[in-house]
Structure 1
Amino acid sequence: MSTQEKKTLSPLYSITAGTIAGISECLVFYPLDVTKTLIQLQKGNEVKQSTFNVLKSIFQKGVAYKGISSPLAMEGFKRSVKFGATTEFKKFYNKLNPSFFKENSVSVNVASGITSGIIEGFIITPFELVKVRLQDPLTKFKAPKDCLQNIISKEGYFKLFTTGLEAGALRQSVWNAAYFGSIPWLKSIILPKNLTRADPKYDQKMLFSNFLAGTIGGLLASTINIPFDVIKSRVQGAITPEAKALYSSNTVFTIFKVAKTEGVKTLFAGWTPKVLRLAPGGGLMFLMFEGMMGVFKKWNGIEN
């Protein structure tokens, strides 16, 4: 094997590419995240509003980007972990067991996605907690700082980092496993089998396959992980003693509890805005990430 073939990019490049991809996706699709959270916070016999009505309402009220400073501050770091750590864990698992974790195989992508998702869960919890509290329509907070100070003073620093941690880590791990695990398989279906760099439309076909695979992967991942997302929103949105007691069990048990008391459909609350965001958002992220990594490889004289 030649030196050129062995040369790889520093983790700093995948972290940078992931950061750019994440911030781009957040800025474009954030109103749908607000919509999703508001729908997931609707409980019991409350009149359920449609995605369109909630989305229309938040723009009319001028709150479509409410709380964005918290996730925007988080997004760069979060996505850098999602893509950067996943990329590095692929190398780790491949070296650990090359026969099972073959390069860019479904197994290595699923394993690295789960591992990076656990790390993501620890990173995002305090930011997500502040974001959910700010997005609640009954919130009394006007800025992340007010919300943060209230959580620390009334619940303590420990709760800032643990409220919704389990559900959040499960949400990220399941999403990453489905997203990264499905993309190699999807690209193998989308791309022509005989495609080579000699094809005059090679770049266009690669761009299309990256966006489509990322979009379908985002749709699949968002559908599979949404029950964990719903529970995370409920746990982090619980501020009364009664509500906190209701969601005090482990995440899996709470999923069954909500399904039994409110119906299985409740576990998929917010699916439409979530998919409207993370399906094309997943396509945009993967397109941006692969595009930036391609640029970095050219700068460093590495062939794709």
Structure 2
Amino acid sequence: MATDASPQLRSVPPPSDFHPEISLSQSPTHDGLHFWQFMIAGSIAGTVEHMAMFPLDTLKTRMQALGASCSVQPVSVRQALGSILKLEGPPGLYRGIAAMGLGAGPAHAVYFSVYELSKQVLSRGDPNNSMVHAASGVVATVSPDTANDERLVIHATAGAGAGALAAALTTPLDVVKTQLQCQGVCGCDKFSSSSIGNVIETIVKKDGYRGLMRGWIPRTLFHAPAAAICWSIYEASKSFFQQLNSR
């Protein structure tokens, strides 16, 4: 005679000390910080950096964008600064800083969180691997070492050196970008297309190869201390959150 031999399932009560908990916060990463703490640290660092260095960025943009038919024709940092102060006063150096400040925070929150997440994914348990820092820095543009025991001055020096070198090497592309943004304004050249090659050819034909390096001094002066400020504040913010989490 056939019998029903199917197993009977019984619920097992959970242990008395079991307390389920649902957390919306991500578990701490390789540096002992949460994802949102990386974002806050990066946002603070980026905002302070850009607001502190905004006058130099204004000088750089003016030197790159002003064309021959403009009434202001700066050929040096001193002349550019004098022209702005004479025509617009000190506020001219800070025109547009509000819009920049609003954008710098979110942008750097993404910038540094992507850097840290890339470093964590690539490290595979070895956060001090130099190749990891380099690869993560490609994602975030600049890649100084971020070992926990480094001092503030090392972060500042490494950031300044990396920022200055990157700024000098990428000046031609920044000139092209600025020319495309400002074309047709105050006598600036208008281009038949947005092709990088077309813009470079026009600049070289008009100003020679020196035209591609226009504004490289204020650009370098901007990015060196800016990177030093940004990375120093970022690492200081990380240290603050690490101490906060350890309490």
> Which structure is higher in RCO with an 8 Å CA cutoff and minimum separation 6?
2
Q: Please list the CA deviations of residues 77-111 of structure 1 after superposition, one character each: whole Å capped at 9, or x if unmatched.
A: 1222222221112223334xx8xxx6455543343
Q: Given the superposition, is the C-alpha separation of residues 207 and 277 from structure 1 closer, same or farther in structure 2, using an over 3 Å criterion?
A: same
Q: Which residue, out of 67, 83, 90, partners 1:57?
A: 83
**Corresponding position: 1:273 with 2:224:** no
Q: Given the superposition, is the C-alpha separation of residues 279 and 239 from structure 1 closer, same or farther in structure 2, using an over 3 Å criterion?
A: same
Larger radius of gyration: 2
**Corresponding position: 1:17 with 2:41:** yes
Q: Given the superposition, is the C-alpha separation of residues 257 and 58 from structure 1 closer, same or farther in structure 2, using an over 3 Å criterion?
A: closer
Structure 1, gaps ≥5 residues long: 117-175, 189-195, 198-204
Q: TM-score, normalised by structure 1?
A: 0.61
Tell me how far apart the structure 1 counterparts of residues 113 and 178 of structure 2 sit (CA, whole Å).
26
Q: TM-score, normalised by structure 2?
A: 0.74
1:86 is aligned to 115
Tell me how far apart the structure 1 counterparts of residues 115 and 30 of structure 2 sit (CA, whole Å).
19
Judge conservation of contact 2:191–2:199 (CA < 8 Å) in 1.
no
Please give the residue correspondences for 1:56-135 in structure 2 after superposition, counting only pairs within 5 Å: 56-60=82-86, 61-62=88-89, 63-95=92-124, 103-105=127-129, 107-116=131-140
**Corresponding position: 1:245 with 2:186:** no
**Corresponding position: 1:284 with 2:235:** no
Tell me how far apart the structure 1 counterparts of residues 226 and 60 of structure 2 sit (CA, whole Å).
14
Please identify, of 7-16 and 210-219, the stretch whose mean Cα deviation from structure 2 is larger.
7-16
Q: Given the superposition, is the C-alpha separation of residues 104 and 217 from structure 1 closer, same or farther in structure 2, using an over 3 Å criterion?
A: farther
For 2:226, give the aligned amino acid.
G
Q: What is the aligned-residue RMSD (CA, Å)?
A: 3.2
Q: Given the superposition, is the C-alpha separation of residues 53 and 6 from structure 1 closer, same or farther in structure 2, using an over 3 Å criterion?
A: closer
Q: CA deviation at 1:58?
A: 2.3
Q: CA deviation at 1:243?
A: 4.5
Tell me how far apart the structure 1 counterparts of residues 245 and 180 of structure 2 sit (CA, whole Å).
46
1:29 is aligned to 53
Q: Given the superposition, is the C-alpha separation of residues 103 and 266 from structure 1 closer, same or farther in structure 2, using an over 3 Å criterion?
A: farther
Q: Which structure's residues are more often helix, by fraction? A: 1
Tell me how far apart the structure 2 counterparts of residues 256 and 36 of structure 1 sit (CA, whole Å).
21
Q: Please list the CA deviations of residues 36-79 of structure 1 after superposition, one character each: whole Å capped at 9, or x if unmatched.
A: 00001134698442112212332342311011121111111122
Tell me how far apart the structure 2 counterparts of residues 291 and 74 of structure 1 sit (CA, whole Å).
22
Structure 2, gaps ≥5 residues long: 1-27
Q: Given the superposition, is the C-alpha separation of residues 282 and 55 from structure 1 closer, same or farther in structure 2, using an over 3 Å criterion?
A: same
